[in-house]
Protein backbone atom coordinates (compact mmCIF):
# COMPACT_ATOMS: atom_id res chain seq x y z
CA UNK A 1 0.00 0.00 0.00
CA UNK A 2 1.29 3.47 -0.91
CA UNK A 3 0.06 6.75 0.55
CA UNK A 4 0.15 9.95 -1.47
CA UNK A 5 -0.59 13.50 -0.42
CA UNK A 6 -2.39 15.91 -2.70
CA UNK A 7 -3.73 19.41 -2.35
CA UNK A 8 -6.51 20.60 -4.58
CA UNK A 9 -9.46 22.84 -5.25
CA UNK A 10 -13.10 22.12 -5.74
CA UNK A 11 -16.08 24.28 -6.61
CA UNK A 12 -18.83 24.07 -4.04
CA UNK A 13 -21.95 26.23 -4.33
CA UNK A 14 -20.17 28.49 -6.81
CA UNK A 15 -17.17 29.15 -4.56
CA UNK A 16 -13.71 27.79 -5.11
CA UNK A 17 -12.63 25.83 -2.07
CA UNK A 18 -9.08 24.85 -1.28
CA UNK A 19 -8.62 21.77 0.86
CA UNK A 20 -6.20 19.00 1.41
CA UNK A 21 -6.55 15.47 0.18
CA UNK A 22 -4.87 12.37 1.47
CA UNK A 23 -5.20 9.45 -0.91
CA UNK A 24 -4.11 5.90 -0.20
CA UNK A 25 -3.60 3.73 -3.22
CA UNK A 26 -3.24 -0.03 -3.27
CA UNK A 27 -0.82 -1.32 -5.85
CA UNK A 28 0.56 -4.72 -6.65
CA UNK A 29 4.24 -5.42 -7.16
CA UNK A 30 4.06 -6.34 -10.84
CA UNK A 31 4.76 -3.78 -13.54
CA UNK A 32 1.32 -4.26 -15.12
CA UNK A 33 -0.63 -3.92 -11.90
CA UNK A 34 -3.77 -1.85 -11.63
CA UNK A 35 -3.75 0.91 -9.04
CA UNK A 36 -6.82 1.02 -6.84
CA UNK A 37 -7.91 3.87 -4.64
CA UNK A 38 -8.29 2.61 -1.07
CA UNK A 39 -9.60 5.84 0.48
CA UNK A 40 -9.63 9.61 0.17
CA UNK A 41 -10.10 12.22 2.89
CA UNK A 42 -10.17 15.98 2.80
CA UNK A 43 -10.21 18.80 5.31
CA UNK A 44 -11.33 22.42 5.03
CA UNK A 45 -11.85 23.45 8.69
CA UNK A 46 -15.55 23.94 7.96
CA UNK A 47 -14.81 27.12 5.98
CA UNK A 48 -15.90 26.43 2.42
CA UNK A 49 -14.17 29.41 0.83
CA UNK A 50 -11.02 29.43 2.92
CA UNK A 51 -7.40 28.62 2.25
CA UNK A 52 -6.29 25.15 3.31
CA UNK A 53 -3.15 23.52 1.98
CA UNK A 54 -1.31 20.39 3.01
CA UNK A 55 2.41 21.02 3.35
CA UNK A 56 4.04 17.93 4.88
CA UNK A 57 3.19 14.35 5.70
CA UNK A 58 4.81 11.62 7.80
CA UNK A 59 3.99 8.16 9.15
CA UNK A 60 4.49 6.64 12.58
CA UNK A 61 5.60 3.07 13.32
CA UNK A 62 1.95 1.91 13.39
CA UNK A 63 1.18 3.27 9.93
CA UNK A 64 -0.80 6.27 11.17
CA UNK A 65 -0.58 9.26 8.86
CA UNK A 66 0.14 12.79 10.07
CA UNK A 67 -0.54 15.77 7.83
CA UNK A 68 0.71 19.30 8.47
CA UNK A 69 -1.24 22.06 6.81
CA UNK A 70 -1.94 25.76 6.81
CA UNK A 71 -5.63 26.35 7.41
CA UNK A 72 -8.05 29.27 7.28
CA UNK A 73 -9.40 30.21 10.70
CA UNK A 74 -12.54 32.06 11.73
CA UNK A 75 -10.60 35.31 12.24
CA UNK A 76 -9.89 35.59 8.48
CA UNK A 77 -6.30 34.62 9.06
CA UNK A 78 -4.50 31.30 8.90
CA UNK A 79 -3.09 28.91 11.46
CA UNK A 80 -1.37 25.56 11.81
CA UNK A 81 -3.50 22.44 11.39
CA UNK A 82 -2.09 19.02 12.29
CA UNK A 83 -4.22 15.98 11.47
CA UNK A 84 -3.73 12.34 12.40
CA UNK A 85 -5.37 9.62 10.31
CA UNK A 86 -5.49 5.89 10.99
CA UNK A 87 -4.13 3.60 8.26
CA UNK A 88 -7.71 3.11 6.99
CA UNK A 89 -8.23 6.89 6.61
CA UNK A 90 -10.27 7.47 9.76
CA UNK A 91 -9.45 10.84 11.28
CA UNK A 92 -8.04 10.29 14.78
CA UNK A 93 -7.67 13.92 15.76
CA UNK A 94 -7.02 17.40 14.48
CA UNK A 95 -5.19 20.11 16.41
CA UNK A 96 -5.17 23.73 15.34
CA UNK A 97 -2.85 26.45 16.51
CA UNK A 98 -3.75 30.10 15.91
CA UNK A 99 -1.51 32.96 16.97
CA UNK A 100 -2.73 36.22 18.45
CA UNK A 101 0.38 38.02 17.20
CA UNK A 102 0.75 36.43 13.72
CA UNK A 103 -2.52 36.64 11.80
CA UNK A 104 -1.26 34.61 8.84
CA UNK A 105 0.44 31.84 10.78
CA UNK A 106 1.92 29.12 8.59
CA UNK A 107 3.73 25.97 9.71
CA UNK A 108 7.03 25.11 8.09
CA UNK A 109 7.99 21.68 9.46
CA UNK A 110 7.08 18.99 11.93
CA UNK A 111 8.57 15.89 13.51
CA UNK A 112 7.47 12.91 15.58
CA UNK A 113 9.37 11.73 18.65
CA UNK A 114 9.62 8.14 19.90
CA UNK A 115 6.32 8.50 21.79
CA UNK A 116 4.56 9.79 18.65
CA UNK A 117 4.28 13.26 20.13
CA UNK A 118 4.16 15.85 17.35
CA UNK A 119 6.33 18.97 17.30
CA UNK A 120 5.34 21.69 14.81
CA UNK A 121 7.30 24.84 14.01
CA UNK A 122 6.53 27.76 11.74
CA UNK A 123 6.31 31.53 11.55
CA UNK A 124 4.17 31.76 14.72
CA UNK A 125 6.41 29.68 16.99
CA UNK A 126 6.66 26.04 17.98
CA UNK A 127 3.99 23.83 19.52
CA UNK A 128 4.09 20.25 20.84
CA UNK A 129 1.13 17.85 20.92
CA UNK A 130 0.86 14.47 22.62
CA UNK A 131 -0.13 11.35 20.67
CA UNK A 132 -3.81 12.21 21.23
CA UNK A 133 -3.45 15.72 19.80
CA UNK A 134 -3.50 17.57 23.13
CA UNK A 135 -1.27 20.64 23.25
CA UNK A 136 1.60 20.14 25.71
CA UNK A 137 3.55 23.38 25.31
CA UNK A 138 4.48 26.24 23.02
CA UNK A 139 7.84 27.96 22.52
CA UNK A 140 8.56 31.32 20.87
CA UNK A 141 10.97 29.92 18.26
CA UNK A 142 9.52 30.53 14.79
CA UNK A 143 11.59 27.94 12.99
CA UNK A 144 11.96 26.57 9.50
CA UNK A 145 13.09 23.09 10.51
CA UNK A 146 12.72 20.80 13.53
CA UNK A 147 14.24 17.49 14.62
CA UNK A 148 14.08 15.26 17.70
CA UNK A 149 16.66 12.97 19.25
CA UNK A 150 16.27 9.51 20.79
CA UNK A 151 15.43 10.92 24.24
CA UNK A 152 12.87 13.32 22.75
CA UNK A 153 14.81 16.57 23.00
CA UNK A 154 13.70 19.06 20.33
CA UNK A 155 16.01 21.01 18.00
CA UNK A 156 14.71 24.01 16.07
CA UNK A 157 16.59 26.07 13.48
CA UNK A 158 15.80 28.84 11.04
CA UNK A 159 14.37 31.41 13.43
CA UNK A 160 15.84 34.90 13.06
CA UNK A 161 19.14 35.34 11.23
CA UNK A 162 22.57 33.96 12.03
CA UNK A 163 21.96 30.19 11.75
CA UNK A 164 20.16 30.28 15.10
CA UNK A 165 19.48 26.86 16.61
CA UNK A 166 17.94 25.96 19.96
CA UNK A 167 17.70 22.71 21.94
CA UNK A 168 14.63 22.16 24.12
CA UNK A 169 13.92 19.40 26.62
CA UNK A 170 10.91 17.13 26.04
CA UNK A 171 8.96 19.45 28.36
CA UNK A 172 9.91 22.56 26.31
CA UNK A 173 12.62 24.05 28.56
CA UNK A 174 15.60 25.71 26.88
CA UNK A 175 18.84 23.67 27.15
CA UNK A 176 21.01 25.82 24.90
CA UNK A 177 20.84 28.27 22.05
CA UNK A 178 23.54 29.01 19.51
CA UNK A 179 24.09 31.05 16.37
CA UNK A 180 26.69 31.48 13.67
CA UNK A 181 27.01 34.70 11.71
CA UNK A 182 28.48 34.75 8.23
CA UNK A 183 28.70 37.53 5.65
CA UNK A 184 25.23 38.93 5.08
CA UNK A 185 21.94 37.56 6.42
CA UNK A 186 22.08 33.83 7.08
CA UNK A 187 19.41 31.36 8.15
CA UNK A 188 19.30 27.64 8.88
CA UNK A 189 16.93 25.66 6.67
CA UNK A 190 17.41 22.06 7.76
CA UNK A 191 18.51 20.11 10.82
CA UNK A 192 19.17 16.44 11.57
CA UNK A 193 20.25 14.56 14.68
CA UNK A 194 22.76 11.71 14.43
CA UNK A 195 22.79 8.41 16.33
CA UNK A 196 24.81 10.04 19.14
CA UNK A 197 21.99 12.59 19.57
CA UNK A 198 24.14 15.40 18.23
CA UNK A 199 22.76 17.91 15.77
What are the tens digits of pLDDT across the range 83-125? Answer: 999 999 899 999 999 988 899 999 999 999 999 999 999 999 9
Q: Name residues of the chain where pLDDT drops below 70.
A: 1-34, 183-185, 197-199
Contacts of residues 161-165 at CB distance under 8 Å and 24 or more positions apart, as own/partner, are 161/185, 161/186, 161/187, 162/186, 162/187, 163/187, 163/188, 164/188, 165/191, 165/199
CB 127 within 8 A of CB 91: no
Query: Max Cα separation, the chain?
Result: 55
CB 22 within 8 A of CB 73: no
pTM for the full predicted model: 0.82
Amino acid sequence: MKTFLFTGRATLCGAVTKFLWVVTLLSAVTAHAQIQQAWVVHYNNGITNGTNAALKMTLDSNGNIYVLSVSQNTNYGTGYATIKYAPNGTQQWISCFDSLSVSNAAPAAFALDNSNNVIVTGNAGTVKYDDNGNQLWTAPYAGIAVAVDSIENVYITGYSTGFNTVKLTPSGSNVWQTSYTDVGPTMGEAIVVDSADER
